[in-house]
Chain A
Amino acid sequence: MGSAESSAPDGSAAPVDRTGPAEPAGRDGPRTDAGASPAHGADAGGAPAVALRDVVKRFGSFTAVDGLDLEVPTGTVFGLLGPNGAGKSTTMKMLTAQSRADSGEITVLGHPVPRASKRARAEMGVVPQHDNLDEELTVRENLEVFTHLYRVPRARRAESVDRGLRLAHLEDRPDLRADKLSGGMRRRLLIVRGLVHRPRLVLLDEPTVGLDPQVRQELWGLITELRAEGVTVLMSTHYIEEAERLADVVALMAKGRVVSQGVPADLIARHAGSTVEEFPVEPGARADEIEERVAAAGLATRRTGATLSVLRADAMPESLRDSLGRGNARAGNLEDVFVTLTGERVE
């Protein structure tokens, strides 16, 4: 962590900087254009789906959420990205009133929380981080139970369960007991269980944590389908790639606050540059020396394992280029942004 220091703004004192507006990115255009042409003022619902203002949550002397301001625009897939302990899960729990803020204001789908939290909970779906499927029950029964808990009218329960089975790609094994499902199937069931009542807002707390990459990609497909339906998705994750690929807007969270928020491509362009070059660091003192030279040229660096990454390498002055040579070029990513802004690593 300490070695990941960068010459960028001091993380602890960094003001919330918003790269680009927080409105949803244009749905119709290709995703890569999202950063370039955010749809100004095209926000369908007007009011944000979720709004937190100056929210503080303490556990004893530990402050988990420290004056958090957050607005999730209606219709977006919103990623809450940060390392473990950044306050993401606590934030999620406060949205369902399962954790009560010490101060600040929370509104979910227009309902003040926790006061009218039950109304908010009726209109949103929640996918918990901890798998809590009923193991003894079948796939279908697990869904049926939640149609009751979410008060789906009797006439629509069967249809709602069938839709869940289709969404989870479990339509050919509705009678399998949950404890017989594979990890990926369990997680898909866990997700669609929170969708039986067609919620307007879905909270996904670390939806793919602990799954292998292939299963993770399957789940991304499911989340993309939700986006296509116009459902607002608030997703916490500590996987960089997940946030970059799925989220229209990302809020980078560290130590209970949002340090920066915006369209992923904008954040990367602004804080890491489009190209990052990695230079191998031999055992010895060469890293410090390169860091000094790069800093003198006005560029930021961060240590990435056995290599030193130079951010905004596309803007490297010729003089520096001559002395450094050419490193391994790669695209900038949200981790570069995160480390640059906070000095902390995400994973």
Chain B
Amino acid sequence: MSPDTRTRGGSSADAAPAVQVPPGRFELAPIAGVLAREWALYRRSWKPTTFASIVEPVIMLLAFGVGLGSLVGAIGGYDYIHFLGTGIVATSVLFTSMFPGLIDTYVRRVFQHTYDGMLAAPVDVRELVTGEASWIACKAGVYGCAPLLVAIAFGLPASWAMLLVPVIAFVTGFGFALTGIWMSAAVPSIKTMDYIISGVITPLFLIAGTFFPIGTLPGWAQAVAKVNPLYHCVELVRGTAFGIGVGEAALHFAALFAFVAVAWCLAVFQMHRKLID
């Protein structure tokens, strides 16, 4: 019976802030709410998250770049470690977005019932999905730059265009986070995720021109690579380091945006099916 509970008397100044927009409108406020939660969680977990997101790609870069690089020498006129450093930006983005999208989202939906609580607040499924994917994409945008910095330390000439890398990483990460969310809601159980991890993620990151140019692949595999969103990410990141035509870059961006649009629709549709009876 604390005294403050008695002071209300239904005054409208105290009442819940009303949602004024027309029903059904997509709003930014719920996304801010979702992000606020992510930020609170991140303040608890940033150390291991940062460690994993930076150390893993850097070790991969050093092992393959220095080890394999001494055998390969150069690819397409570029030092192998420079070629690889730009490619590993993309794999890093893939891993830091697809895995959280797939696994964290599944755990929160199925085991923690987190989303049931959020959807009882003025948050709709598409805002929830957009918020979760945006947060993951932000992390991908930041952490994705780590391998590039290592490559620069190994002599890759820095360029102003590289300032676009976080943007490229964000857009790609947004798409893969949405893909992960879609799949997390499509799998019948958490065990089935092994199919996705081995059957989808592994080929995605290998057939994208990350470790070797796709020109060395057979024709059909090259065609597959062209529809792999990660390939477009790799080409853009490489473009910021080695130069790329504006038209070509625009096409790669267009491919990424199309990917995001499709993944968003799939993720929202599937999550809606799972969260709303």
Which chain A residues have a beta carbon within 8 Å of chain B's beta carbons?
A: 57, 59, 90, 93, 96-100, 111, 115-119, 121-124, 126, 128, 130-132, 134, 136-137, 141, 144-146, 148-153, 163, 166-167, 194, 197-200, 203, 221, 225-226, 228-230
Do A99 and B277 touch across chains, with their CB atoms under 8 A apart? Answer: yes
Nearest CB of B to A134, in Å:
7
A119: B residues at CB distance < 8 A: 18-19, 23, 122
Task: Please tell me which one of the listed residues B4, B15, B19, B120 contacts residue A166 in the complex, with CB atoms under 8 A apart.
Answer: B4
Q: Which segment, of B26-34, B97-105, B138-146, faces chain A?
A: B26-34
B198 interface residue (CB < 8 Å to A): no
B41: A residues at CB distance < 8 A: 134, 136-137
Nearest CB of B to A203, in Å:
8
Among residues 1 to 52 in chain B, which have CB atoms less than 8 Å away from a CB atom of chain A? 1-2, 4-6, 8-10, 14-19, 23-24, 29-30, 32-34, 36-37, 40-41, 44-45
Do B113 and A126 touch across chains, with their CB atoms under 8 A apart? Answer: no
Q: How large is the interface on B (under 10, 10 to 19, 20 to 34, 35 or more residues)?
A: 35 or more
Do A150 and B122 touch across chains, with their CB atoms under 8 A apart? Answer: yes
Give 6 nearest A-B pairs by CB, closest first.
A148-B36, A126-B120, A149-B33, A116-B23, A122-B122, A132-B113
Do B19 and A118 touch across chains, with their CB atoms under 8 A apart? Answer: yes
Closest to A141 in B: B40
B18: A residues at CB distance < 8 A: 119, 122-123
Which chain B residues have a beta carbon within 8 Å of chain A's beta carbons?
A: 1-2, 4-6, 8-10, 14-19, 23-24, 29-30, 32-34, 36-37, 40-41, 44-45, 112-114, 116-124, 275-277
Q: From A93, A131, A149, name the one whose CB has the most chain B CB atoms within 10 angstroms.
A: A149
Number of A-B contacts (CB under 8 A): 135
Q: A121-B120, A137-B41, A228-B1 given. 14 additional CB < 8 A pairs?
A: A99-B277, A115-B23, A119-B122, A130-B113, A132-B113, A149-B30, A149-B33, A149-B34, A151-B17, A167-B5, A200-B16, A226-B5, A229-B5, A230-B8
Given contacts A122-B18, A136-B41, A148-B33, contact A167 B2 (CB under 8 A): yes
Do A121 and B122 touch across chains, with their CB atoms under 8 A apart? Answer: yes
Task: Please tell me which one of the listed residues B8, B32, B117 contacts residue A128 in the complex, with CB atoms under 8 A apart.
Answer: B117
- Cα of A59 to Cα of B277 in the assembled complex, Å: 9
- Cα of A136 to Cα of B114 in the assembled complex, Å: 13
Nearest CB of B to A321, in Å:
46
Do A228 and B37 touch across chains, with their CB atoms under 8 A apart? Answer: no
Do A123 and B30 touch across chains, with their CB atoms under 8 A apart? Answer: no
Nearest CB of A to B10, in Å:
6
B1: A residues at CB distance < 8 A: 221, 225, 228
B121: A residues at CB distance < 8 A: 121-122, 126, 146, 149-150
Nearest CB of B to A14, in Å:
28
Nearest CB of B to A153, in Å:
6
Closest to B36 in A: A148
B23: A residues at CB distance < 8 A: 111, 115-119
Do A198 and B8 touch across chains, with their CB atoms under 8 A apart? Answer: yes
Closest to A74 in B: B10
- Cα of A116 to Cα of B113 in the assembled complex, Å: 24
